[in-house]
Amino acid sequence: MDSSVEETVPETESVAFMKLALEQAKLALDSLEVPVGCVIVEDQKWQKNGLIREEVALKFSKCTLYVTCEPCIMCAAALSIIGIKEVYYGCANDKFGGCGSILSLHTNSSGKVTCSGISKRKEFKCTRGITASGAIDLLRSFYEQGNPNAPKPHRTPVQRV
């Protein structure tokens, strides 16, 4: 785990926003989707949730993202490119985490990302572990019940002896 990710006792406000993210994750679970929820907060006000994608002109440099699971590598890179101010997340993403578990794309020590003329990433602060057990419980529930929306395998699995 990356030492540049803070692990602090969360403030009441952070917990309140993370509970809103958990509610979004629960809505996803109820819809048989992967239960990862997020909320975007600007000036201590909930601006949007992860289910609404209409507004792309948010001033992300003034926004904080609360998300139930550590952003994956691709999402962490995107957050860096758009200049998000801060990210709070619940549980770690030990397979694809981009904010300390696998890569640390929230810091400039990860190098530059260049894509279609975008050459500069911005660092953002990360704090992990807020309501992690609730996020883990939702993910566990989802994977225990099976994913009915998962694509059907195209080939027969190989049986190993």
Higher pLDDT, 16 or 158: 16
Mean pLDDT, rounded, for 56-80: 88
Q: Which residue is associated with the tokens 């904080």?
A: 64
CATH T-level assignment (fold) for domain 12-145 = Cytidine Deaminase; domain 2 (3.40.140)
Summarised one tens digit per residue, pLDDT across range 72-111 is 999 999 999 888 999 999 999 999 999 999 999 998 755 5
Confidence of residue 47 (pLDDT cuts 50, 70, 90): low
Q: Residue 54: its pLDDT value, please?
A: 45
Angle between helices 12-30 and 132-145 (to 10 degrees): 10
Query: Which one is catalytic: 11, 33, 54, 55?
Result: 55
Alpha carbons 154 and 137: distance in angstroms, whole number: 31
Q: Give me the residue spans of the domains in the chain.
A: 12-145
Is residue 55 flagged as an active site residue? yes
Whether pTM exceeds 0.85: no
Q: Name all contacts of 107-110 with Cβ < 8 Å and 24+ positions apart.
A: 107/2, 107/4, 109/4
